[in-house]
Amino acid sequence: MKEIRGRFAPSPSGPLHLGNLFCGLLSWLSAKKQNGAWVLRIEDLDPLRSYPEQVESCLAALRWFGLDFDEGPEKEGLCAPYFQGARTALYQQAFEKLTAKGLVYPCFCSRAELHAASAPHLSDGSVVYSGRCAGLTREQAAEKAKKRPPAFRLRVPDETIVFEDGVYGEVRQDLRAECGDFILRRSDGVFAYQLAVTVDDALMGMTEVVRGRDLLASTPRQLYLYRLLGYKPPRFYHIPLLLDENGARLAKREGALGLAALQKRFKTPEKLLGRLAFAAGLIDRPAPLTAQELAREFSWEKLKREDVRLPPGFYKP
Q: Which of 2, 33, 97, 252 is catalytic?
A: 252
Q: Which stretch binds ligand GLU (CB under 6 A): 5-13, 61-69, 116-124, 168-176?
A: 5-13
Task: Report the nearest approach of ligand GLU to the CB of residue 154 (Å).
Answer: 18
- Helix H, strand E, coil C: the string for the chain is CCCCEEEECCCCCCCCCHHHHHHHHHHHHHHHHCCCEEEECECCCCHHHCCHHHHHHHHHHHHHHCCCCCEECCECCCCCCCEHHHCHHHHHHHHHHHHHCCCEEEECCCHHHHCCCCCCECCCCCECCCCCCCCCCHHHHHHHHCCCCCEEEECCCCCEEEEEECCCEEEEEEHHHHCCCEEEECCCCCECHHHHHHHHHHHCCCCEEEEEHHHHHHHHHHHHHHHHHCCCCCEEEEECCEECCCCCECCHHHCCCCHHHHHHHHCCHHHHHHHHHHHCCCCCCCCCCCHHHHHHHCCHHHCCCCCEECCCCCCCC
267 in active site: no
Q: Sketch the per residue contact string, 160 through 199, with ligand GLU: x for CB under 6 A, - otherwise.
A: -------------------------------------x--
Q: How many residues interact with ligand GLU (rule CB under 6 A)?
A: 7
Least spacing, CB of residue 29 vs ligand GLU, in Å: 16
Q: Which is nearer to ligand GLU, 26 or 289 (CB)?
A: 26
Select 223 or 283, whichever has its Cβ closest to ligand GLU.
223
Least Å from the CB of residue 11 to ligand GLU:
4
Q: Of these, 17, 32, 185, 211, which contacts ligand GLU (CB under 6 A)?
A: 211
> Of the two residues 14 and 106, which places its CB atom closer to ligand GLU in the complex?
14
Among 40, 43, 298, 308, binds ligand GLU (CB under 6 A): 43
Choice from 203, 215, 229, 257 touching ligand GLU (CB under 6 A): 215
Q: Least distance in Å: CB of 70 to ligand GLU?
A: 17
Task: Select the span of 4-12, 106-114, 130-138, 142-150 touching ligand GLU (CB under 6 A).
Answer: 4-12
In the window 249-268, what residues touch ligand GLU (CB under 6 A)?
none
Residues between 6 and 25 with contacts to ligand GLU, criterion CB under 6 A: 9-11
Least Å from the CB of residue 207 to ligand GLU: 15
Q: Are 186 and 108 in contact (CB under 8 A)?
A: no
CB of 116 to ligand GLU, least distance (A): 27
Q: Please, are residues 173 and 161 in contact by the beta-carbon 8 Å criterion?
A: yes
Binding to ligand GLU in span 99-138, by CB under 6 A: none
Gap between the Cα atoms of 271 and 248, Å rounded: 23
Residues that bind ligand GLU (CB under 6 A): 9-11, 43, 197, 211, 215
